[in-house]
Structure 1
């Protein structure tokens, strides 16, 4: 790891009340002293640590004031990175933060890479890899449930569970070593039974963690929900109703929506990634045809389809094609435009879409949206989601490693059930221990670490 001092703007770009420039490394305080002048003419190092100190950032060449600021320094190791850290709080806006950052870099700091502050926190042992991943999840959280889940992981819930399982695996390895070191004593039969008991418990605990991954994905990424139907059946009106704003263009002209429109909406703590698609129909319009194909592609990866029918019209061939697209997917059916005379019967659709829930709606009158939201809650929150102390798997990397660890334990159990010598399972137990270690970063390569931290923003 580089040991030079890094610096970056830690606040989002644009106008704001405060802009923050963060430094981390051995030269942080030295650099700050070169450009900060306190109210009593003292440098930052001459003022109280871990306290915001009033003063000015000045250009070292001519001592002219650059901005009026508050600055704080924190000595290692009790900092975010476990290195010396300085933060300069200036006026928000592009000019002030840029000028101060330029001075910091001229005095010897290096511009930080994406996620480098958190990467240093990980490499210096302040947090493990699962906690580092929780940092970016906290920043990107779109719901309270997502935030609470990420905070739970940041506080070490996954770490504690992984350590607990690894300790059980070490106990298994100790039993194996005992049978190898004392072959003349009758310990292998006892060791085999102990190993089976521990392996079953580890297998069950890993399986429970894997089972949380779908909940974790939904809370973190949202339920990918595609709105599907013919042109002019009310798809864009439905999206606007769920968002409580006029996001999609609504007209009486069929084919208004030609491309994918995607937005997030929070329903009972679960984010829905709502995708409004082009109306499904045969068309000679090249742009609209591309939109129809994109709609079908989005449907293939969707968690849920909301299929909208115009109940003021009889079932047509295009409706039947849409039914064929969603018959094997989780779907909710909306009979829209109930404010008009109905020509479509529920049984016309329910016979072809068995087990699909049908709701009658009128987007014009705002009817039926509450029933749709209740059904969405029922489908994806069958029991109220409560983020407690138990860990929840939050990403694909963790899930894949747990699946590999589970396979290791299964191989060990199979060998034990076949009454193979206990030393034959040593490789499987070590493999499980190592795969769990990849979750926390105890055993992981630099390339994987770099890949994870490149998902972070600069300044974090």
Structure 2
């Protein structure tokens, strides 16, 4: 567990990724940052030592030298940034040297020998949170930004780092606290609480609390799709072109394609980027009745992939209506997932084929061989995810299950409070309003336990 007493210590770490690069960065944060730099840094112009600390936010060229041996470790650029206006809210030094692991390790060892300790994972951002430089939703968005796999995911995370989610939550919190104050006043002076007061509280809940909470909670699924990506299983009977479709969407020959039914025996997975969304496609074994032991294992794995997917792409051959086997596969897909796409493949063999709507489904016709209709399929995949919602980088997109849980708890408490107000059970309403407030404060990091903070910051790298 993180020791809050460690905040008085100066920390340091390599802030750039492992491996070889043109530049590597050592970050130092804490009260000793300036003195550590002075003890190990020889500016190219010695006159810069006449005034210390040096000019803030100015890169200075010099050498890192071991104070004990006078050995030169690297030729670097160094910058001093005084707190509290820094990332961590403390005095910060960054040293930009050559990006090799050995030379960076030597510079870091020299820094640590002068009184700094190695930072824990996420400790720089944790200090930023504890020192009031950002709230917890912004701190969580930092790691989301680092791990973003699409441009849209990066935009969403950047919105949260900039305070988009924080500002929305704060607005709802203000409405909750206003409602809570009126409820507690009604509790203290219940004989004076009239219909007008009740209607005023209900109006505030119905406009400024419950709808935005519901909108944020529902949008969380889209945030998950952006930040974690989606699993899409391609399923169907043998020889309908599942592997060809997988290769066409992936843009490479990822799955083996033959005329022999049952060639795909195992699940083949491939990450692809489709209209700004990260999908992991799964090409599965052809679904049919079989007595072959190996093929039966492949069919079971196909069923397992269906159950694990966010989207099922059911592939049938163009040119005819659904067979009884196709209809049974559609029923299996619907039981496994709430997002199913119907795709008629091999349009090149059936020119002019135009599939009719099938119940709630609007099938897509494609030719994996020629590429005809693939853009329409990509649009349909995005639409299936969107389910009527707009996909953008608005602050309402929540990429975090912890935040989603807090929003749902706050929504439930606010709805209970509304029911209690209608019953004029003011004491119970006050309790529910307090619970809603506490749930939203958890998103901002108010009253969050050290164990939760430990878990959140464990996902960070050491240099962040």
User: Is the contact made by 2:54 and 2:80 (CA closer than 8 Å) also made in structure 1?
Assistant: no
User: Is the contact made by 1:176 and 1:191 (CA closer than 8 Å) also made in structure 2?
Assistant: no
1:115 lines up with 2:126 in the alignment: no
Q: Give CA deviations for 1:8-49 in whole Å, capped at 9, x if unaligned.
A: 221112222211111111222222223222112456945322
1:333 lines up with 2:339 in the alignment: no
Selected match of 1:435 from 436, 439, 451:
439
CA distance in 1, matches of 2:283, 2:64: 50
CA distance in 1, matches of 2:175, 2:405: 21
User: Is the contact made by 2:184 and 2:430 (CA closer than 8 Å) also made in structure 1?
Assistant: no
Q: Relative to 1, partners in 2 of residues 1:191 and 1:359: Cα closer, same or farther, differing over 3 Å?
A: closer
CA distance in 1, matches of 2:161, 2:85: 17
Determine helix, strand or coil for the equivalent of 2:341: strand
CA distance in 2, matches of 1:276, 1:45: 63
Query: Which segment drifts farther, 47-56 or 306-315?
Result: 306-315
1:454 lines up with 2:463 in the alignment: no
User: Displacement, 1:445?
Assistant: 0.8
CA distance in 1, matches of 2:184, 2:385: 47
Q: Relative to 1, partners in 2 of residues 1:295 and 1:27: Cα closer, same or farther, differing over 3 Å?
A: farther
CA distance in 2, matches of 1:346, 1:36: 73
CA distance in 1, matches of 2:428, 2:330: 54
Q: Relative to 1, partners in 2 of residues 1:178 and 1:11: Cα closer, same or farther, differing over 3 Å?
A: same
User: Is the contact made by 1:134 and 1:153 (CA closer than 8 Å) also made in structure 2?
Assistant: yes
1:15-34 counterparts in 2 under 5 A?
15-34=20-39
Alignment-derived partner of residue 38 in structure 1? 43
CA distance in 1, matches of 2:367, 2:279: 21
User: Is the contact made by 1:115 and 1:455 (CA closer than 8 Å) also made in structure 2?
Assistant: yes
User: Is the contact made by 2:139 and 2:161 (CA closer than 8 Å) also made in structure 1?
Assistant: yes
Q: Which runs of 4+ in 1 moved over 6 A?
A: 312-318
CA distance in 2, matches of 1:95, 1:434: 48
State the aligned residue count: 451
User: Is the contact made by 2:13 and 2:27 (CA closer than 8 Å) also made in structure 1?
Assistant: yes
Q: Which runs of 5+ in 2 are unaligned?
A: none
Q: Relative to 1, partners in 2 of residues 1:310 and 1:386: Cα closer, same or farther, differing over 3 Å?
A: closer
Query: Which segment drifts farther, 318-327 or 110-119?
Result: 318-327
Determine helix, strand or coil for the equivalent of 1:212: helix
Determine helix, strand or coil for the equivalent of 1:17: strand
Q: Give CA deviations for 1:263-321 in whole Å, capped at 9, x if unaligned.
A: 433322233232233444546455x6555433322211322111234569999897666
User: Displacement, 1:7?
Assistant: 1.7
Determine helix, strand or coil for the equivalent of 1:367: coil
Selected match of 2:398 from 393, 399, 403:
393
User: Displacement, 1:250?
Assistant: 4.5
Q: Give CA deviations for 1:143-183 in whole Å, capped at 9, x if unaligned.
A: 22222221222111221222222222222332234345456
Selected match of 1:106 from 105, 110, 113:
113
CA distance in 2, matches of 1:29, 1:20: 16
With the length of structure 2 as denominator, give the TM-score of the two structures: 0.86
Alignment-derived partner of residue 199 in structure 1? 205
CA distance in 2, matches of 1:428, 1:235: 52
User: Is the contact made by 1:5 and 1:27 (CA closer than 8 Å) also made in structure 2?
Assistant: yes
Alignment-derived partner of residue 304 in structure 1? 311
Determine helix, strand or coil for the equivalent of 2:192: coil
User: Displacement, 1:129?
Assistant: 0.8
Determine helix, strand or coil for the equivalent of 1:133: helix
User: Is the contact made by 2:34 and 2:53 (CA closer than 8 Å) also made in structure 1?
Assistant: no
Selected match of 1:272 from 256, 271, 279:
279
Q: Which runs of 5+ in 1 are unaligned?
A: none
Q: Relative to 1, partners in 2 of residues 1:139 and 1:247: Cα closer, same or farther, differing over 3 Å?
A: farther
Alignment-derived partner of residue 157 in structure 1? 164
